[in-house]
Amino acid sequence: RLTSLHETLSKRRARGQKSLAVLLDPDHLDEAGCRHLLELSEAHPVDYFFVGGSLVMNSHQASLIRLIKSCSAVPVLLFPSHSLHLDTQADGILLLSLISGRNPDFLIGQHVVAAPLLRASNLQILPTGYMLVDTGRQTTASYMSGTTPLPYDKPTIAACTAMAGEQLGLRLMYLDGGSGAMYPVSSAMIRAVRQATETPLIVGGGINTAEKAHAALSAGADVIVIGNQIEKAPEFLAEMSKVVRTFNAVLDVKV
């Protein structure tokens, strides 16, 4: 099922237009916090809400998605770490294949379990090559998936991994330093993946200043994902939204 969400991402990539995704982790956000963020996102545009976490400890995910869908037109994409985390209220799903790792369960196993459920749903499917990158300490995602992340200073390995993912038919690439990473994925690695592939490129993990966001976008990220920093300080959304809009405004002038 090729999707309008995928089409939009591809068109944006072709135009060089950047997007902002805010990661909402059901374990870290209560209803009041979510309402506050949704209000902020009226004044400071967000392009996507990603919903998910490496471990979902509580059952707030469904009510969180319901709340977003009732207050906002921003597309909600599931960012699942397990086939248990599907929710048909969302608009789409980043169907992640963990191509940086060698654990068959996260390359194909979970997908087999989810396949009939996805087929029966209206979720738009975004097949995504998911690459965890070593950013200084073991992340929950790397521990839970039992995989070794890509070495931080080996952009060539990341580029070849992404290339292989694209050749296998994956439609998006996601370079992730992991939530709360000590430092973000390097510009060199973003640039290498960008140059090696045509697919839209999502970059997240440890982007907690405007400078880091700008660096990721300049290196070739099409979508930046911010989680932790907005959880800590929701007002940071204003700053992030501005970085992305400013980037796109410059583009409009050039066109």
Residues annotated in a binding site for sn-glycerol 1-phosphate: 174-180, 205-206, 227-228
Q: Which residue's CB is nearer to ligand 1GP, number 65 or number 132?
A: 132
Return the closest-CA partner of residue 111 out of 143, 85, 75, 140: 85
Gap between the Cα atoms of 182 and 13, Å rounded: 28
Per CB under 6 A, the segment of 98-106, 155-163, 199-207, 245-253 that binds ligand 1GP is 199-207
Q: Which residue's CB is nearer to ligand 1GP, number 206 or number 234?
A: 206
Q: Which residue's CB is nearer to ligand 1GP, number 17 or number 179?
A: 179
Gap between the Cα atoms of 219 and 187, Å rounded: 5
| CB hemisphere CA count around 108 (13 angstroms) | 4
Q: Which residues pair with 224 in a beta bridge?
A: 20, 203
**Binding residues among 6-65 for ligand 1GP as defined by CB under 6 A:** 23
Q: Which of 61, 179, 186, 197 binds ligand 1GP (CB under 6 A)?
A: 179
Per CB under 6 A, the segment of 29-37, 82-90, 91-99, 198-206 that binds ligand 1GP is 198-206
Binding residues for Mg(2+): 25, 54
Q: Which residue's CB is nearer to ligand 1GP, number 23 or number 193?
A: 23
Start-to-end C-alpha separation, the chain: 32
Q: Which residue's CB is nearer to ligand 1GP, number 123 or number 225?
A: 225
Q: Is 205 in the site for ligand 1GP (CB under 6 A)?
A: yes
What type of residue is 119?
Answer: R
User: Which pairing describes strands 223-226 and 19-24: parallel, antiparallel, or unpaired?
Assistant: parallel
User: Cβ 143 to ligand 1GP, closest distance in Å?
Assistant: 13
* Helices 210-219 and 236-254, packing angle to 10 deg: 40
Residues 6+ apart with CB under 8 A from 221: 18, 175, 190, 194, 201, 202, 203
Neighbours of 16 (CB within 10 A): 15
Q: Is 228 in the site for ligand 1GP (CB under 6 A)?
A: yes
Per CB under 6 A, the segment of 38-46, 85-93, 155-163, 205-213 that binds ligand 1GP is 205-213
Residues that bind ligand 1GP (CB under 6 A): 23, 176, 178-181, 204-207, 225-229
